[in-house]
């Protein structure tokens, strides 16, 4: 039988959707009854999960979902920490969009970019060669003049 790697799923208290545990923020109520944000996901106690999303966080706050999950008050400090780590879904989608655009640009324009670079380098080589020749020409000219001079002298 092929091994199927199971990704642990947890429900977000904001949107109530099942999501990959690692993508969610864990809030934990310790056995002593202290509610705190658990970044490592290893703190002992009862955990509740919320998306790393401002909208989900606001919804969870409004419905007092964390308070209900823990059956205790959630300190403002915890909400403050959650606010700091949460991103708006607009911000997240903008980041994803920019990333996609960047890769698409290279997929579509990659050949053209390489062509442009090759053309640019060729232009530089040609330019250098012509400048080099121009620098040599006066020498050749003066040698010829000298030759002419010699010629008239003879």
One character per residue 11-30, x = contact with Zn ion (rule: CB under 5 A): -x-xx---------------
Q: Is 102 buried (19+), middle (13-18) or exposed (0-12) by CB count in 10 A?
A: exposed
Question: What CA–CA distance (Å, rounded) separates 65 from 52?
Answer: 15
With respect to Zn ion, which residue has the nearer C-beta, 35 or 56?
A: 56
Question: What CA–CA distance (Å, rounded) separates 111 from 115?
Answer: 6
Q: Which stretch binds Zn ion (CB under 5 A): 10-18, 30-38, 41-49, 145-153?
A: 10-18
Q: Which of 25, 35, 56, 69 binds Zn ion (CB under 5 A)?
A: 56
Contact status, residue 82 vs residue 50, Cβ threshold 8 Å: yes
With respect to Zn ion, which residue has the nearer C-beta, 18 or 95?
A: 18
Q: Which stretch binds Zn ion (CB under 5 A): 4-12, 36-44, 107-115, 120-128?
A: 4-12
The residue ranges that bind Zn ion (CB under 5 A) are 12, 14-15, 51, 56
């Amino acid at each position: 039988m092929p091994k199927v790697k199971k990704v642990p799923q947890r429900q977000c208290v904001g949107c109530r959707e099942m999501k990959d545990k690692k993508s969610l923020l864990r809030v934990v109520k310790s056995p002593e009854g202290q509610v705190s944000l658990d970044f490592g996901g290893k703190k002992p106690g009862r955990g509740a999960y919320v998306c790393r999303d401002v909208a989900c966080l606001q919804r969870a706050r409004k419905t007092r979902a964390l308070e209900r999950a823990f059956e205790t008050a959630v300190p403002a400090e915890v909400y403050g920490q959650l606010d700091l780590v949460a991103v708006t879904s607009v911000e997240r989608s903008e980041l994803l969009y920019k990333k996609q655009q960047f890769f698409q640009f290279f997929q579509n324009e990659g050949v053209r970019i390489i062509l442009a670079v090759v053309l640019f380098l060729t232009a530089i080589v040609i330019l250098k060669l012509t400048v080099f020749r121009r620098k040599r020409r006066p020498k050749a000219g003066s040698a010829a003049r000298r030759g002419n001079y010699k010629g008239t002298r003879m």
